[in-house]
Amino acid sequence: MVSASQYVAKVLEKLKEKNACESEFHQAATEILESLELVFEKHPEFIESNLLERFVEPERVIMFRVPWFDDKGNVQVNRGFRVQFNSAIGPYKGGLRFHPSVNLGIIKFLGFEQILKNSLTGLSIGGGKGGSDFDPKGKSDNEVMRFCQSFMTELQKYIGADVDVPAGDIGVGGREIGYLYGQYKRLTNNYSGVLTGKGLAYGGSLARKEATGYGLVYFVEAMLKAEKKSFAGKTVVISGSGNVAIYAHEKATQLGAKVVAMSDSNGFIYDPQGIDLDTIKQLKEVERKRISEYMLTHPHATYTEGCFGIWNIKCDIALPSATQNEIDEQSAQTLVQNGCIAVGEGANMPTTLEGTNVFLKNGVLFAPGKAANAGGVATSALEMSQNSQRMAWTFEEVDAKLKNIMENIFAQADSAAKEYGHAKNYVIGANIAGFLKVADAMMAQGIV
Ligand code: NDP
Ligand code: 2IT
């Protein structure tokens, strides 16, 4: 029989050949598969049943046309996606991303990561992801609504509370989930928990909005605690100023840290006194404006065009929470030189493979996204539980469960890393711990 490393290399080579233009999927798969070599050494039965080649192939890929009328009466056409990657441990679960950069490779990398992330939560949810190359920026509410209605007209054929439960991601927040839910209900005449991140008036969960950012900070706090460190008194830089970034700021500040920089896709602000979160919430959640407008009310701060320069700001803890590949090798080196002790990925795959290696080699505590940002989807699963029970839990109940789940994910990643001889390497730990549960379920279910 082939060795574990030959087997992994062969599957990876075939994956790259079969999915030639999907660079983000190659990147996510390379990181995950290389960690899994250690698992295949211990489990030759996984190689015998060609588990890995089945694991990297989505169970189903849906791609569809999304036609809609803009406010001028012109017909616009976008492309919609839903990748139903793996249902071994539960119904497909994962967000929808609306951003002009969206393509199949991006949705596949996100869906692939989601399988392991969802497994780490300990809850019964499989991996999926979807979205569209639609750009909500600069569109009127009516345009966003017409787009969402058209998108759901097709998507509703493939989803269901026990089948596939989408949620938000970049460009999809409460407004979009509301329009999508309204159209689902209208077409199916079925009031069920088919989407998460819903408004509180129609089945949403308290603390879902806060969950990814809070969960990120809970995870990093657990990672720091293992080194007898904490957030108190630390300087923090957070990229992005969307859902994840805002609530990471809120929780880090509650724990005694000072957040000095945040960004959007145009540029970043630096406020040495600590960024005023109420202003950011007003600009981003209410007015949908650019972060540069922070300067109008906080003239002592500085604004710099371009989002990547944010990593030149000296900090103790970096929480990249905007998008993929925002920290490259150079930015990682700068962070290390500036004395950064911990990095927590709020975004999915915000660090390149080279950047990750810089952190690991220099002893920076590194919390990979699939573990550190799992609080969002975990709380989505709590929303699904509340929907099935027709119950609503209090904010405190949900938040306490979230904190417990994040501490548990840290413990799993930590113990798998130790067991496989790579203590404190939470990339390897999270990949292995997440994979083993899915692998066991796939083995038990036969060749499917
Ligand atoms: P939002 O749409 O609320 O915010 C995204 C933020 O990132 C905005 O500030 C946006 O700036 C910035 N951004 C987006 N794309 C780019 C880009 N290509 N270059 C530079 N900046 C960019 O999204 P979320 O906060 O929900 O998501 C942020 C990240 O967290 C994503 O990687 C997502 O996959 C991940 N994530 C989200 C979860 C959730 O529950 N929402 C759960 C787990 C992970 P601008 O406004 O200018 O576009
Ligand atoms: O990347 C993610 O985990 C999300 N965007 C959240 C998915 C969800 O189903 O809540």
Tens-place pLDDT, residues 164-191: 999 999 999 999 999 999 999 999 999 9
Q: Which CATH number fits domain 60-191: 3.40.50.720, 3.30.70.3270, 3.30.2080.10, 3.40.50.10860?
A: 3.40.50.10860
**Averaged pLDDT for residues 261-284:** 98
Backbone φ, ψ for residue 126 (5° rounding): -85, -175
- Residue 247 pLDDT grade (very low, low, confident, very high; cuts 50, 70, 90): very high
Measured CA to CA, the distance from residue 430 to residue 412 in angstroms comes to: 7
Alpha carbon 191 to chain centroid distance? Answer: 27
What CA–CA distances, in Å, run from 248 to 243, 333, 407? Answer: 9, 23, 16
Question: What is the 2 CA–ligand 1 centroid distance (Å)?
Answer: 41
Q: How far apart are CA 130 and CA 134, in angstroms?
A: 12
373 lines ligand 1 (CB under 6 A): yes
Q: What average pLDDT does the chain have?
A: 98
Closest Cα to atom 32 of ligand 1? 347
**pTM (2 d.p.):** 0.98
Mean pLDDT across 231-252: 98
Residue 330: CB partners within 8 Å, gap ≥ 6? none
DSSP per position, 143-175? HHHHHHHHHHHHHTTT-BTTTEEEE-BTTB-HH
pLDDT at position 109 is 98
The whole-angstrom separation of Cα 285 and Cα 23 is: 32
Alpha-carbon distances, residue 264 vs 101, 115, 261 (angstroms): 15, 28, 11
* pLDDT value at residue 16: 98
* For residue 1, pLDDT beyond 80: no
Catalytic residue among 108, 129, 284, 403: 129
Averaged pLDDT for residues 85-105: 98
Q: How confident is the model at residue 234 (pLDDT cuts 50, 70, 90)?
A: very high
Length of the chain: 448
Nearest atom within ligand 1 for CA of residue 264: 11
Q: Is 321 in the pocket of ligand 2 (CB under 6 A)?
A: no
Residue 94 near ligand 1, beta carbon < 6 Å: no
Does the active-site annotation cover 370? Answer: no
Give residue 428's pLDDT. 98
In CATH terms, are 60-191 and 209-363 the same topology?
yes
Pocket probe for ligand 2: among 102, 195, 380, the residue whose CB has the most ligand atoms within 8 Å is 380
Residue 289 pLDDT exceeds 80: yes
What is the helix (H) or strand (E) element at residue 92, kind and residue range? Answer: strand 92-98
Q: What is the pLDDT of residue 98?
A: 98
Does domain 209-363 fall under CATH 3.60.15.10? My reply is no
Domain positions in the chain: 4-55, 60-191, 209-363
Q: Is the CB of 379 under 6 A from ligand 2?
A: no
Express each pLDDT in 32-82 by its tens digit: 999 999 999 999 999 999 999 999 999 999 999 999 999 999 999 999 999
Separation of CA 168 and ligand 2 centre (Å): 6
Whether ligand 2 lies within 6 angstroms of the CB of 332 is answered as: no
Residue identified by tokens 């909005």 is: 209
